[in-house]
């Protein structure tokens, strides 16, 4: 009886030549970019359509926003250091950089919440404008910045999971690289949110 031929499983290599986790993260980033795009376009049309719009941000808020930007940019650099450490160095060093990134993310979230508390203290609500202008300002501002803040907090939690998994030997450098890609995206979104939501509404 003739032997049954053994077939090898032939897998075509990915044309992107990248890890599937990372490719999955790219797909998520594309869809998330469209979500933020939709929010920002909706805000843009409402802002243009309203005859009187709220401009609640003075110099102190803008300086606060610049500090937040600097913190988030620094966290992107520490994330790059974490990815590099994961590829070339020890777990301890990678965990250290991931820890610093988480700390910077937490500082960003705290500064963001401080700005929110200040605005709420001044009477701004989701559908309430204390200056008498368009009531939609609060809805736009709290929605867009809240969505971004949710991403930052989610990113900090994801970084903590990856750091823990890395130390337990369950995760490797590809996980660090994938979560790093997400973190840079959060930074990228802020580069559009800050000028559009803060600077366009400065008095």
Partner 1 sequence: MSTNHELAMSSYVGIGVGLMAIVCIEVVLTFQHLPARTLLFSLLCLAGLEGFVAIMYLMQVKYEKPILFWTVFPATLFVLVFLCYLWPDAFRMFNMRLMQ
Q: Site mask, partner 1, residues 110-149, x = CB under 8 A?
A: ----------------------------------------
> Does residue 71 contact residue 108 with C-beta atoms inside 8 Å?
yes
Token pair for 199:
């600077």
Distance CA 69, CA 62 (A): 10
* Cα–Cα separations (whole angstroms), residue 99 to 147, 151, 180, 181: 23, 17, 13, 16
Which of 52, 60, 70, 113 contacts partner 1 by CB under 8 A?
70
Touching partner 1, residues 78-97 (CB under 8 A): 80-81, 83-84, 87
Query: Which of 28-36, 114-122, 125-133, 162-170 is the region at the interface with partner 1 (rule: CB under 8 A)?
Result: 28-36
Which of 123, 130, 146, 195 contacts partner 1 by CB under 8 A?
195
Q: Site mask, partner 1, residues 32-51, x = CB under 8 A?
A: -xx--xx--xx--x---x--
Distance CA 179, CA 177 (A): 6
């Amino acid at each position: 009886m003739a032997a049954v031929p053994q077939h090898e499983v032939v897998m075509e290599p990915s044309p992107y030549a990248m890890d599937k986790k990372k490719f999955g993260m790219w797909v998520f980033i594309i869809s998330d970019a469209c979500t933020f795009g939709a929010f920002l376009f909706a805000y843009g049309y409402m802002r243009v359509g309203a005859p009187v719009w709220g401009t609640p941000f003075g110099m102190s808020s803008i300086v606060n926003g610049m500090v937040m930007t600097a913190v988030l940019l620094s966290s992107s650099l520490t994330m790059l250091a974490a990815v590099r450490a994961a590829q070339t160095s020890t777990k301890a060093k990678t965990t250290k950089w991931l820890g610093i990134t988480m700390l910077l993310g937490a500082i960003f979230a705290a500064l963001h919440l401080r700005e929110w508390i200040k605005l709420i203290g001044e009477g701004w609500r989701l559908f309430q404008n204390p200056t008498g202008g368009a009531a939609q300002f609060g809805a736009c501002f709290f929605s867009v910045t809240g969505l971004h803040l949710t991403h930052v907090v989610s990113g900090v939690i994801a970084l903590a999971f990856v750091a823990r998994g890395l130390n337990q030997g369950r995760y490797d450098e590809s996980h660090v690289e994938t979560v790093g890609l997400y973190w840079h995206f959060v930074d990228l979104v802020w580069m559009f949110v800050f000028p559009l939501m803060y600077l366009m509404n400065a008095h």
